[in-house]
Amino acid sequence: MHDDRSIVEHRLRRVLEERVRPALYSASVPLSVGRWDAPGEPVPVAEGLAAPYAPAAAGEAWGPAWGTSWFRLTGRVPEEWAGRTVEAVLDLGFERMSPGFQSEGLVYRADGEAVKGLHPRNDWVRIGDRVAGGEEVELYVEAAANPVLNGQRPTYEGDRLTSGDAPLYRLNRLDLAVFEPAVWELIQDLEVLRGLMEQLSADDARRHEILRALERALDALDIDDVPGTAEGARAEVAAVLAAPAHASAHRLSAVGHAHIDSAWLWPLRETVRKVARTCANMTALMDEHPEFVFAMSQAQQLAWIKEHRPEVFARVKEKIAAGQFVPVGGMWVESDTNMVGGEAMARQFLYGKRFFLEEFGIETEEVWLPDSFGYTAAMPQLVKLAGAKWFLTQKISWSQTNAFPHHTFWWEGIDGTRVFTHFPPVDTYNSELSGRELAHAARNYREKGRGSRSLVPFGHGDGGGGATREMLARAARCRDLEGSPRVAIERPAAFFEQAHEEYADAAPVWVGELYLELHRGTYTSQAKTKQGNRFSESLLREAELWAATAAIRVPEYAYPYEELERLWKTVLLHQFHDILPGSSIAWVHREARETYARVHAELRDIVDGAQRALAGPGSDEIVFNGAPHARNGVPAGGAARAVTGRAVEGIEGVEGMEAGAVSAVERPGGGWVLANGVLRAEIDGRGLLVSAYDLRARREALAPGRAANLLQLHPDLPNFWDAWDIDAFYRHRVTDLTEVEELRLIADGPDAATVEVRRAFGNSTVTQVVTLREDSATLEIAADIDWHEKEKILKAAFPLDVKADRSAAETQFGHVHRPTHTNTSWEAAKFEICAHRWIQVEEPGWGAALVNDSTYGHDVTRDVRADGGQTTTVRLSLLRAPRYPDPETDQGRHRLRYGLALGAGTLDAVREGHWINLPERTVPGSRAVEPLVGVDNDAVVVEAVKLAEDRGGDVVVRLYEAAGGRASATLTAGFPVAEAYATDLLERPLADAPPYAVTEGGRVAVALRPFQILTLRLSPRRA
């Protein structure tokens, strides 16, 4: 038989696009249009509805970037349309290929009720199925002129302060139209069969069976009367659509979804409206399709519509009660998980899950993070402690180098906790349920022969919009269709329960972090956003610690519950995976800087108020130590009278510490030698560190002939995704910044010795202040950088004389080890890595750590020298300068602090990392403050001390084992304790954990496994 496949396929494409789709609406009349352009920012709905509208018409230009226009649409259904299905077709000037990334609208009735959202793939509003002739129509559209910014090109449209005022859009079609249901159903039939056919092998009989049925349907269709012949064409494909799937067909659990970035190529205020549009869309779709299930994460987004769109929230709540709208995830936002601090990760779950419980009575069991840029190895334990059972993500499928070997597996964290995890093999969280996507999911699934099912999130996402009626039609046709995976719309929990039952015993185990081999630049981009987050986390720790201590010790002090919760939620919001990673537009980061400044000021006020209440009246200097380790004679979490000392002068951000015998002498050939009996540091005439000698261990830390604290500048133009990516070839070119403009000694002891180094490079300058303090094994560096480079990355290098085959980097509640070698492609792909407050390398008997106050990006490399020794070079990534999506990323002044700690083991690194992030604070007063909680083993670190969220007055203490081994400790409470018991992250008693014994003096003995997180709730003994 002759092969005419391509002829039939081309015929199908043309007839479908040029004849069938245009016949969806058989008659139309234009709506009358009124227009009002809101001045400035969006206005409340009532104001928009009552605004003075001026006449407008299709074809008009509208919408400068970030502007809002309101359109009033009125009309009358023609008498001859009586009994027909009528829709309003509202095309605001959409480009069909970019839903969620351009203009959008929300449709209202005259009474302010939200109807549904509008976007390029969803531009209709149903007026009625059997309308009455002469029916009056009145609709209002709140239209957002969001600029198209997803083109990967530098643009100043990403901030309303720098965007242009020219109209971006032109009204297209604003009509009432007769909707032809038979034509719509025919479109869905043809689309599903074409998509399936194209995925089947050319030698598969099923492909040819579908081809011939499609050919018969085209023959039955009169292209001059598509509505009149659509049913006849459908009859020709009915049999192939009714053929059941094979018994072994892959099973897909389809879950409606709209991944809405809480900020990205739009500001936070626009996300509030995106959420309202999407939720209005989804609840309207549920009315028409009771089988439809839609999952939505991010408690913050639901809290937004509760506040800003209560009528939409009421509809959401109704559908949640009906089981169609399903809250998932249990986190406040879909946060980054690489850089978020340990306590902040715990609070993501605390506030997220608590919102779902309080608002809907739902205990979410799945953690839903499809789009974050890699996943911390601490996550499995946090998932379990949050009361969840499952974990879902998609992003690892984006990895550049290695294909992840599993789709359903047990993920084991650093402490040994395992969580049942799924990566949807469809490789998207924005599926349209196309034939290509369904076939890819079935082919791609890596657990064949052991498991048989996967999950597919479907719906327009990123910018929102959600599922469409067309997607539901595809799901219905593919429920049991030969040649296709079986598709069932169901709740995520149903998938996880079935997959777990089918596969749990045989599922493979992945141990450690889920490192994304992409988007490594997000550890560094937008340094001030990252610094704002780190400082906020540290201040929140202090605010809770001192406020809890004051609330227990000072009768008149009131714990600031509302303020702390509000501030925590603000910080958690800004940990969203396009804000904290630095991959949002300029507007987002400008607002983030402003927000962090307000947060920091408010938290400092809380800290100061609590400390003054504790210190009492008087003029003595009372030194407060908020770190989890004793410092300068002040216990952890306590305060004592200050010992007279002299502060170091230098650039802003260098904290003064206590006095000691520190010397500074001129170095032959230029520079200075700083020493304190513990460490001797030599800074040469170039201002570089050429020796760091550990006097206790009698060994040099730096590799022979190498200089440390060396600033290095690389070109940084990745192939794609500027703010997101660092590509390995950036290392091919490097400029060492060795020229010095000024080198001077600015403090020469006895308490500290400090050398200032000034450099200029390109269009930028840097001033480094290098300080050695009393009895300290850490050389501190404060860098004041006025940064004006473009498409460059600045690193600080420390070549160490250490034979280290792996590095240890702090992560949440512990640390992760990563190889320094590149034996396999998996190790080679980790050429840029994330660390929190410290990164450490060691050989048996000696190690060194780099600590920092706000840096996350690092790299560690190794070389063998001619003398046979190994140089392990640790570098901090200080600043980047990508141009998309913010063309001015990181331009301006930055103050960063870091330090080299000699002879540092893991616990030394933990201690020094906390110290550089939690400076001592001094207030006037008269009394010392004993710690509210103390622990007698440095391997057990107190992460948080606070009062319980239920406001019952209990003290909550979160501890973790920090060294990676087993640890026993005695926790001593500085108040009478009636009861002590372990809780989950929501501060609820753990079902399988009996109360702890409380001995005399408020002592509680604890034993922790490696990296275990323990949350203790201590009930004070009431009089």
In tens, the pLDDT along 485-534 reads: 999 999 999 999 999 999 989 899 999 999 999 999 999 999 999 999 99
**Residue 1022 pLDDT:** 84
User: Whats the size of the chain, residue-wise?
Assistant: 1023
Give the tens place of pLDDT for each residue, 380-394.
Answer: 999 999 999 999 999
Evaluate if residue 992 carries a pLDDT over 90: no
Distance between CA 155 and CA 236 in Å, rounded? 51
Order of strands, sheet of 25-30, starting from the edge strand that comes earlier in the sequence: 25-30, 174-179, 85-90, 124-128
Catalytic residue among 91, 336, 371, 784: 371
Distance between CA 935 and CA 961 in Å, rounded? 12
Q: Measured between alpha carbons, how far is residue 462 from residues 459, 507, 586 in Å?
A: 10, 31, 18
Mean pLDDT confidence for 562-590: 98
Residues 6+ apart with CB under 8 A from 207: 197, 200, 201, 483
Rg (the chain; Cα; Å):
31
As a whole number of angstroms, the longest Cα–Cα distance in the chain is 102
Evaluate if residue 96 carries a pLDDT over 90: no
**Residue 152 pLDDT:** 86
CB distance 487 to 254 below 8 Å: yes
Residues 6+ apart with CB under 8 A from 307: none
Q: Between 342-360 and 561-573, two packed helices, what is the crossing angle to 10 degrees?
A: 110
**H or E stretch covering 990:** none
**Can you read off the two tokens belonging to residue 762?**
């390109």
Order of strands, sheet of 838-843, starting from the edge strand that comes earlier in the sequence: 742-748, 752-761, 764-773, 778-787, 892-902, 846-852, 838-843, 806-811, 814-819
Give the tens place of pLDDT for each residue, 317-375.
Answer: 999 999 999 999 999 999 999 999 999 999 999 999 999 999 999 999 999 999 999 99
Place of tokens 């190889």: 819
**Residue 655 pLDDT:** 35
CB-count exposure of residue 27 (10 Å: 0-12, 13-18, 19+): middle
DSSP 870: E
Evaluate if residue 462 carries a pLDDT over 70: yes
pLDDT range class, residue 98, cuts 50, 70, 90: confident
**Residue 642 pLDDT:** 87
Cβ atoms < 10 Å from Cβ of 164: 12
CB distance 828 to 896 below 8 Å: no
Distance between CA 559 and CA 691 in Å, rounded? 49
What's the CA angle centered on 549, arms 544 and 551, to 5 degrees? 90
Letter string b/e over residues 29-67, b meaning 16 or more CB atoms within 10 A of that residue's CB: eebebbbbebeeebbebeebbebebeebeeebebbbbbb
Residues 6+ apart with CB under 8 A from 807: 817, 818, 820, 833, 839, 840, 841, 860, 872, 874
Distance between CA 778 and CA 912 in Å, rounded? 8
**Can you read off the two tokens belonging to residue 607?**
């800290």
pLDDT range class, residue 938, cuts 50, 70, 90: very high
Distance between CA 257 and CA 459 in Å, rounded? 5
Cβ atoms < 10 Å from Cβ of 784: 20
Phi and psi torsions of 854, nearest 5°: -170, 15
Q: Provide the percentage of residues in the chain whose pLDDT is more than 90.
A: 96
Q: Which of 791, 733, 710 is nearest to 525 (CA)?
A: 791
DSSP 462: B
Pairing, β 967-973 against β 933-935: antiparallel
**Residue 644 pLDDT:** 53
**Residue 463 pLDDT:** 85
DSSP 881: -
CB distance 813 to 851 below 8 Å: no
Distance between CA 171 and CA 163 in Å, rounded? 21
Evaluate if residue 657 carries a pLDDT over 90: no
755 beta partners: 745, 770
Distance between CA 48 and CA 517 in Å, rounded? 46
Cβ atoms < 10 Å from Cβ of 243: 14
**Can you read off the two tokens belonging to residue 525?**
């981009």
First to last CA, the chain: 96
CB distance 903 to 845 below 8 Å: no
Determine the residue type at 201.
Answer: S
Residues 6+ apart with CB under 8 A from 705: none
**Residue 273 pLDDT:** 97
DSSP 529: H
Q: Mean of the per-residue pLDDT values for the chain?
A: 96
Evaluate if residue 296 carries a pLDDT over 80: yes
Distance between CA 615 and CA 318 in Å, rounded? 52
**Can you read off the two tokens belonging to residue 374?**
């890699």
**Can you read off the two tokens belonging to residue 868?**
């046979």
Q: Which of 537, 523, 540, 525 is nearest to 588 (CA)?
A: 525
Distance between CA 39 and CA 46 in Å, rounded? 15
**Residue 582 pLDDT:** 98
**Can you read off the two tokens belonging to residue 2?**
């002759």
Distance between CA 875 and CA 848 in Å, rounded? 13
890 classed as catalytic: no
pLDDT range class, residue 266, cuts 50, 70, 90: very high
Q: Which of 287, 58, 88 is nearest to 179 (CA)?
A: 88
Distance between CA 178 and CA 82 in Å, rounded? 10
Give the tens place of pLDDT for each residue, 169-217.
Answer: 999 999 999 999 999 999 999 999 999 999 999 999 999 999 999 999 9
Evaluate if residue 652 carries a pLDDT over 80: no
Give the tens place of pLDDT for each residue, 701-710.
Answer: 999 999 999 9
Place of tokens 């960063």: 896
Evaluate if residue 659 carries a pLDDT over 60: no
Mean pLDDT confidence for 409-420: 98
Give the tens place of pLDDT for each residue, 119-175.
Answer: 999 999 999 999 999 999 999 999 999 999 998 899 999 999 999 999 999 999 999
**Residue 654 pLDDT:** 33
**Can you read off the two tokens belonging to residue 207?**
């492909």
Evaluate if residue 645 carries a pLDDT over 70: no
Q: What is the Cβ-side half-sphere exposure of residue 469, based on CA atoms within 13 angstroms?
A: 16
Give the tens place of pLDDT for each residue, 821-861.
Answer: 999 999 999 999 999 999 999 999 999 999 999 999 999 99
Q: Which of 465, 482, 452, 477 is nearest to 253 (CA)?
A: 452
**Residue 3 pLDDT:** 81
Q: Which of 977, 976, 974 is nearest to 928 (CA)?
A: 974
For residue 844, cis peptide bond before it (omega within 30 degrees of 0) = no
